[in-house]
């Protein structure tokens, strides 16, 4: 659909319009009485969310590039239908293909409470089917209001069950890692991916002082990012997700990526609501599975 057709069918005055940003990428731009949010049609990738009167809640790298078929650094990439490396084919992209292919807009609405609702669907092609030989649909529902709610909805439209890995791989903006503690995972078992993989149990809150790459398993807990520098707590509530990934690449890995910016790693932490490792989800034929997150912000007490 062209930009003018998108605006004709789906723009909503005082809520939503579609634009083309510098690199020819189409984005939905939401601005309502509560907050602003940008979503790229490539990957149905939420790239920004900023409630009124707040610093951005979602981190987007100052060097983020909008290149067809490449994931955007920052925002809320969708990892689907697998998380991390593919189980049997190392040639396939890590974290699946959903974040690098075009999605279509199915529906947009202004809700009675003043929020804005959008629904996207991944566009299947011969190339996506070659990577994921299952009959399925995947949609992302975005509700932009006082909070940001994202629902990733997978439907098995085929005759046989399939096993799904997934994550909403959200990068949160923080004042500085040294000012930040992540709570909610105390006492939870995790797979530590830094160095030799090991299983450990979280003691106390998470403080980031070096590379962190951990998959916490069997947890549906709400996580809090307490940020003394911005005097706020980001709440990450979820359902349909039993893993939480906490990731910060720290200096060396961030530099290698080339799209993080010099000090970018200090201003972000990924807290990803996921289903990975022993929490992969079996979606039975004809069934639907939904992973939902809701992000909100409050001042530190
Ligand atoms: C995290 C993984 O979810 O994503 C890390 O646990 C990985 O191992 C990170 O490095 C970023 O992945 P990518 O593919 O977006 O660079």
Say if residues 120 and 44 touch (Cβ distance below 8 Å): yes
Closest C-alpha residue for ligand 1 atom 10: 249
Q: Which two tokens stand for residue 111?
A: 């809700």
Rounded Cα gap, residues 55 and 33, in angstroms: 16
Q: Which two tokens stand for residue 258?
A: 């080339």
Rounded Cα gap, residues 83 and 236, in angstroms: 20
Q: What residues does ligand 1 touch, defined as CB less than 6 Å away?
A: 71, 94-95, 169, 193, 213, 245, 247, 272
Rounded Cα gap, residues 74 and 211, in angstroms: 17
DSSP H or E stretch at residue 9: helix 3-10
Looking from the CA of residue 167, the nearest atom of ligand 1 is 3
Say if residues 76 and 273 touch (Cβ distance below 8 Å): no
Q: What is the pLDDT of residues 210-221, one digit of tens each?
A: 999 999 999 999
Closest C-alpha residue for ligand 1 atom 16: 257
**What average pLDDT is seen over the chain?**
97
CA of 213 to the centre of ligand 1 (A): 8
Neighbour count for residue 77 (Cβ, 10 Å): 26
Say if residues 235 and 227 touch (Cβ distance below 8 Å): no
Q: What is the pLDDT of residues 143-171, one digit of tens each?
A: 999 999 999 999 999 999 999 999 999 99
Q: What is the pLDDT of residues 41-100, one digit of tens each?
A: 999 999 999 999 999 999 999 999 999 999 999 999 999 999 999 999 999 999 999 999
Looking from the CA of residue 274, the nearest atom of ligand 1 is 3
Rounded Cα gap, residues 146 and 184, in angstroms: 22
Q: Which of 45, 67, 208, 213 to mutate to test the pocket of ligand 1 (most atoms within 8 A of CB)?
A: 213
Average pLDDT, stretch 11-35?
95
Closest C-alpha residue for ligand 1 atom 5: 213
CA of 123 to the centre of ligand 1 (A): 24
Q: Which of 63, 170, 247, 248 to mutate to test the pocket of ligand 1 (most atoms within 8 A of CB)?
A: 247
Residue 224, pLDDT above cutoff 80 = yes
Q: What is the dihedral of CA 101, 107, 113, 116, to 10 degrees?
A: 30
CA of 84 to the centre of ligand 1 (A): 7
Average pLDDT, stretch 248-262?
96
DSSP 190-248: EEE-SSS-EEEE--SSB--SS-EEEEEES----EEEEETTTTEEEEEEEES--EEEEEE
DSSP 41: T
Looking from the CA of residue 79, the nearest atom of ligand 1 is 3
DSSP 116-179: EEEEEEE---HHHHHH--S-EEEEEEEEESSSEEEEEEEEE-SSS-EEE-EEE-PEEE-S-GGG
Closest C-alpha residue for ligand 1 atom 9: 247
Closest C-alpha residue for ligand 1 atom 6: 213
* Residues recognised as catalytic: 169, 272
Looking from the CA of residue 257, the nearest atom of ligand 1 is 16
Looking from the CA of residue 83, the nearest atom of ligand 1 is 3
Give residue 111's pLDDT band: very low, low, confident or very high (50, 70, 90).
very high
Rounded Cα gap, residues 236 and 5, in angstroms: 35
pTM of the model: 0.98
Q: What is the dihedral of CA 28, 3, 260, 169, to 10 degrees?
A: 50
Place of tokens 């940020």: 227
The pLDDT of residue 207: 98
Q: Which two tokens stand for residue 114?
A: 């003043």
Rounded Cα gap, residues 275 and 28, in angstroms: 27
Say if residues 153 and 138 touch (Cβ distance below 8 Å): yes
In this structure, the strands spanning 212-217 and 189-192 are antiparallel
- Pick the closest to residue 77 from 237, 207, 245 (CA basis): 245
CA of 8 to the centre of ligand 1 (A): 37
CA of 217 to the centre of ligand 1 (A): 17
């Amino acid at each position: 659909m062209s930009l003018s057709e998108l605006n004709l069918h789906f723009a909503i005055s005082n809520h939503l319009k579609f634009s083309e940003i510098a690199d020819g990428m189409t984005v939905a731009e939401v601005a309502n009485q509560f907050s602003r949010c940008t979503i790229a049609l490539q990957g149905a990738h939420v790239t920004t969310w900023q409630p009124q009167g707040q610093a951005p809640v979602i981190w987007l790298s100052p060097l983020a590039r909008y290149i067809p078929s490449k994931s955007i650094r920052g925002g809320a990439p969708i990892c689907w239908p697998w998380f991390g490396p593919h189980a049997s084919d190392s040639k396939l992209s890590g974290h699946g293909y959903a974040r690098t292919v075009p999605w279509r807009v199915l529906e947009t609405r202004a809700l009675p409470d003043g929020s804005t609702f959008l629904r996207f669907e991944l566009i299947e092609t011969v190339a996506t089917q070659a990577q994921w030989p299952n009959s399925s649909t995947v949609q992302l529902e975005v509700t932009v209001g006082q909070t940001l709610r994202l629902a990733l909805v997978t439907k098995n439209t085929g005759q046989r069950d399939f096993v799904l890995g997934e994550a909403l791989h959200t990068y949160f903006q923080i004042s500085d890692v040294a000012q930040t503690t992540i709570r909610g995972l105390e006492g939870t078992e995790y797979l530590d991916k830094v160095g030799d993989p090991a299983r450990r149990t979280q003691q106390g809150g998470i403080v980031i002082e070096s590379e962190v790459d951990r998959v916490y398993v069997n947890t549906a807990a709400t996580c809090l990012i307490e940020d003394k520098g911005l005097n706020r707590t980001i709440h990450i509530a979820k359902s349909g997700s039993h893993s939480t990934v906490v990731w910060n690449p720290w200096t060396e890995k961030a530099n290698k990526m080339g799209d993080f910016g010099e000090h970018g790693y200090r201003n972000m932490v990924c807290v990803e609501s996921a289903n990975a490792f022993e929490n992969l989800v079996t979606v039975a034929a004809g069934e639907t599975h939904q992973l939902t997150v809701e992000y909100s912000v409050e001042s530190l007490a």
